[in-house]
Structure 1
Amino acid sequence: MDLGYGKRRVLVVGGSDGIGRAAASLMIGEGADVVIASRSEKNLLAAAEMIHAERATVPGQLVCDVTRPEAGAVLAETVDARWGALDVLVAAVGGSVRADFSALDDQAWLDNYTFNILSTVRAIRSLLPYLEKGSNPAIITMSGAGAKMPYQHQVVSNVHKAGLIGLTKTLALELADRNIRINTIAPGRTLTSLWTNRADMLAAERGSTREEVLQEFAKDIPLGRFAQPDEIATMIVWLCSPLASYVTGQTISVDGGIARGLL
């Protein structure tokens, strides 16, 4: 199936690892011109090498820390210089904090808000003029299963991931008359470095192995296993394609069934 990515201009913020890197690789495989952005130059270079090995193409690379106020200007300058317009923005940024509510001070809340919400707001706001010039423009934000089924001891990220759903739904209405679509992905437990690092830490504390820890956490998932990043990225690629031209303002769960709610 031709997804219509030939000559499509794509920026993946958080594209050096995990779901973002997987989405960038798949889009390049479909014929898109992709730039990946990350605050870590080392991670960007490693991701570019991996994508080159998979697709025989090296993505553009941009060092940009989206938790910094100047990030929006950096993103806009890069898009302006490379293309002058933008077709797809994937904001694959954010993360969770595992702690009891009483252990979280104001700074912990503010830091996670900046990471999960404000970074995405900055990227979208700065790139809207270029998306308006794009062809079938689409935006993806990255929520999580915890927004629909809050995880215990992850209150700060549960709240902010739910906030991204509100942001996406609101912007879908505001941007519709400019023909810009926006949707959010709510992944479940996925084998990214965040989870493997966490599993290694828990394994060291318990005297067990990474595999044993991951198997324990997989018991809550109806499909009985963690997702691979490509399984989440495949949905991103479809949602950003012209084939999904009538889908906007939606939260798509790709979580193996872990979120049990009806909505």
Structure 2
Amino acid sequence: MDLEFRNRRVLVIGGSYGIGEAAAKLALAEGAQVMIASRSAENLAAAAARMEEATGRRPAEAVADVTQAGTAEALAERVAADWGGLDVLISAVGGSIRAAFADLSDEDWMGNYTFNVLSTVRAIRAHLPLLQKGQAPAVVMLGAAASKMPYAHQIVSNVHKAGMLGLNKTLASEFAPLGIRVNLVAPGRTLTPLWTNRADKIAADEGRTRDDVLADFSKDIPLGRFGTADEVARMVVWLASPCAAYITGQSVNVDGGIARGLL
């Protein structure tokens, strides 16, 4: 299928590893102009080199920490200077804190809110004028299957990822008259550095192997395995493409069936 991505201007925030990197790589392979943004210049350079090796094309790189006030606006100025407008914004920023409710401080709650919700709000707000100049513009946010099936001892991210569902629905309605579609992809357990690092820590603490730990975490996934970043990225890029022109306000799980709710 031709995703009609050729020459589309695509910004991927959180594009230096994991699902964000996979989405940027796929967009490059489909012929898009791509810029990846991340906090680390070193990680950006490494990711850009991997993408160039895989696709023969290299993305533009922008050092930006959207958890910090004013950074999203500076990033938008860079996009405006380079491209003059924006067709696709992908926000792949977020994470969790694994702890019991009683052990979490106000700082834990506020820090994770900034990471999971406010960073994406800032990015969308800063780039909205550029999206309004785009061709068939689209926003895709990365959420989590935990927004629909909360995990134990991850209450902070459970709450904030659920908030992303509300953000998605609200923005989709508000931006529809502007011609901008907004959707969210909710991954389940996916083999990204966040999960492999966690599995390595558990394995070291318990004297086990990474594969053994991952196998245990796969037992309650109906498909019996973790997803890959590429599998999630395909949904992200498809939703951002003109092929999904009649889809907005949707939160699509790519989770191997782990979230068992009806909605």
Q: Confirm or deny a common fold (TM above 0.5).
A: yes
Kindly provide the amino acid, as one letter, of the partner of residue 20 in structure 1. Answer: G
Q: Counterparts in 2 of 1:123-202, with a 5 A limit?
A: 123-202=123-202
1:28: which partner in 2? 28
Shift of 1:73: 1.4
Shift of 1:42: 1.0
The DSSP-based 3-state class of the residue aligned with 1:235 is helix
Q: Does 1:232 align with 2:232?
A: yes
Q: Counterparts in 2 of 1:215-226, with a 5 A limit?
A: 215-226=215-226
Give per-residue Cα distances to partners, 1:157-210, cap 9 Å, x unaligned.
000000011001000010000000000011000000000000000001100011
Distance across 1 between alignment mates of 2:105 and 2:165: 24
Structure 2 unaligned segments of length 5 or more: list them.
none
2:59: which partner in 1? 59
Percent of aligned positions that are identical: 60
1:206: which partner in 2? 206
Structure 1 unaligned segments of length 5 or more: list them.
none
CA RMSD of aligned residues (A): 0.5
Worse overlay, 205-214 or 70-79: 70-79
Shift of 1:255: 0.2
2:10: which partner in 1? 10
1:70: which partner in 2? 70
Task: Name segments (4+ residues, structure 1) moved above 4 Å.
Answer: none
Distance across 2 between alignment mates of 1:209 and 1:64: 35
1:105: which partner in 2? 105
The DSSP-based 3-state class of the residue aligned with 2:4 is coil
Kindly provide the amino acid, as one letter, of the partner of residue 206 in structure 1. Answer: E
Q: Does 1:84 align with 2:84?
A: yes
1:96: which partner in 2? 96
1:242: which partner in 2? 242
Q: Is the 8 A contact 2:64 2:72 kept in 1?
A: no
Count of residue correspondences: 263
Give per-residue Cα distances to partners, 1:104-158, cap 9 Å, x unaligned.
0000000000000000000000000000000000001111010000000000000
